[in-house]
Amino acid sequence: MAEDIIEPDLPIIDPHHHLWDLRPLLGSFPTPRHPFLDALTLGAYYNFDALHADATSGHHVIATVYMECGAYYRADAEPAFKPVGEVEMANGVAAQGASGLYGDFRPCAAIIGHGDLTLGDGVRPVLEALQAAGGGRFCGIRHQGAWDADPDVLGPPFHAPPQLYASDAFRSGFRQLGAMGLTFDAWVCEPQLPDVIALARAFPEQPIVLDHCGTPLGIASYKGRLPERFDTWRASIRALAELPNVSIKLGGLAMAFCMMPSEGPAAGVGSEALAAMWRPYIETCIEAFGPQRAMFESNFPVDRWGADYRTLWNAFKRLTAGASAEEKRALFAATAARTYGIEHLLPQG
């Protein structure tokens, strides 16, 4: 049975979701399946209609930020320019929402794309093409850096090299973001958080958003080790929070990588249990960064591993039950709006 919505009038800007059609790809993955791939099957086809249904299922989601996920690349483009197709797709979805035919919901109001920053100065024309394709909505890049020495942690879809963010080639391309006024979303696993700290220190003027609470790991060789590694994770989060150019997304904990919950896809765990499970991580992040640099995210459809959309946001609202109205405004909408340049969508007052 679907949960009743907590605080249904609280405005939400969901700053992290994907759209994709993975049906042609899922059959190519090896068996036995990695739990992350099992999670992907829950949302193998996630388009505007699915997003609209989730976002209008009870919570007051006024807008979203699209996050790159390697979908809808241009088939006939040179490799470096293939990701332009993804931004074109997301901008088309944004245009659907902006038409007003679907009410006040504004999906993909800001768009984070992908450009291969290891191209160095050569990534500049790619970024310019992404800007042109985004129709004023493209605002930044995510270049995933997730890696672990245990190949069973991430599974087949992920191939980032170790210490990507420290490489000269990557940092040469990274410099282009500041010159163009673009944000950077960083996705790494918890043991890699020092790489993000070093990157943020090296580029103190570049806005960096850490995705998914830094992705605590509870899978493969990390299974059962979340309590053991909590202090290490917390120390890294606090070190990142000392850097004013870094903000954090509060979510991603329902991914298979984290195993919170561990029962498997759409486990049916309620929001009260999820809030209790996630509380040490979410409260640590908010305490370290403050509401002005922290934002709740759905990470849908990936976080369907642990929760449906209604339940996910209910869990977040339970975690902020004691927060002030101004703190909730920041955590659920205003921080995301400011970070991604869509403050005009915030309700007044």
Residue 264 is predicted with a pLDDT of: 66
Give the residue from 21, 7, 8, 10 showing the smallest Cα distance to 301.
Answer: 21
Query: Can you tell me the distance from the alpha carbon of 199 to that of 107, in angstroms, rounded to the nearest whole number?
Result: 31
pLDDT at residue number 30: 66
Q: Where are the domains of the chain?
A: 11-343
CA distance 298 to 300: 5
**Which DSSP string do the residues of 308-327 spell out, in sequence order?**
-HHHHHHHHHHHTTTS-HHH
* Beta pairing class for 246-250 and 208-210: parallel
Name 2's Cβ contacts closer than 8 Å, sequence gap at least 6.
57, 308, 310
Is domain 11-343 given the CATH code 2.130.10.10 in the classification? Answer: no
Q: How many Cα atoms are found within 13 Å in the side-chain-facing hemisphere of 49?
A: 2
pLDDT at 153 (0 to 100): 95
Count of C-beta atoms within a 10 Å radius of residue 324: 10
Residue 91 sits at φ, ψ, to 5 deg, of: -65, -35
Angle 55-316-197 from CA coordinates, rounded to 5°: 105
Residue range 2-16, pLDDT digits in tens: 899 999 999 999 999
**Pair 313, 275: CB distance under 8 Å:** no
Q: Rounded to the nearest 5°, which phi and psi values hold at 84?
A: -60, -35
pLDDT single digits (tens) 297-307: 999 999 999 99
Residues 6 or more apart from 42 whose CB is under 8 A from it?
A: 265, 266, 301, 304, 305
Residues 167-197: tens digit of each pLDDT: 999 999 999 999 999 999 999 999 999 999 9
What is the pLDDT at residue 28?
A: 67
Helix (H, G, I), strand (E, B) or coil at 341: coil
**β-strand partners of 45:** 21
Give me the pLDDT at residue 91, please. 98
In the numeric block, the tokens 């000269």 are attached to 168
Contact 66, 14 (CB under 8 A): no
pLDDT in tens, the chain (349 residues): 789 999 999 999 999 999 999 888 777 666 667 888 888 888 889 999 999 999 999 999 999 999 999 999 999 999 999 999 999 999 999 999 999 999 999 999 999 999 999 999 999 999 999 999 999 999 999 999 999 999 999 988 888 999 999 999 999 999 999 999 999 999 999 999 999 999 999 999 999 999 999 999 999 999 999 999 999 999 999 999 999 999 999 999 999 999 999 886 666 899 999 999 999 999 999 999 999 999 999 999 999 999 999 999 999 999 999 999 999 999 999 999 999 999 999 998 6
**For the chain, what is the mean pLDDT?**
95
Q: Which amino acid is at 250?
A: L
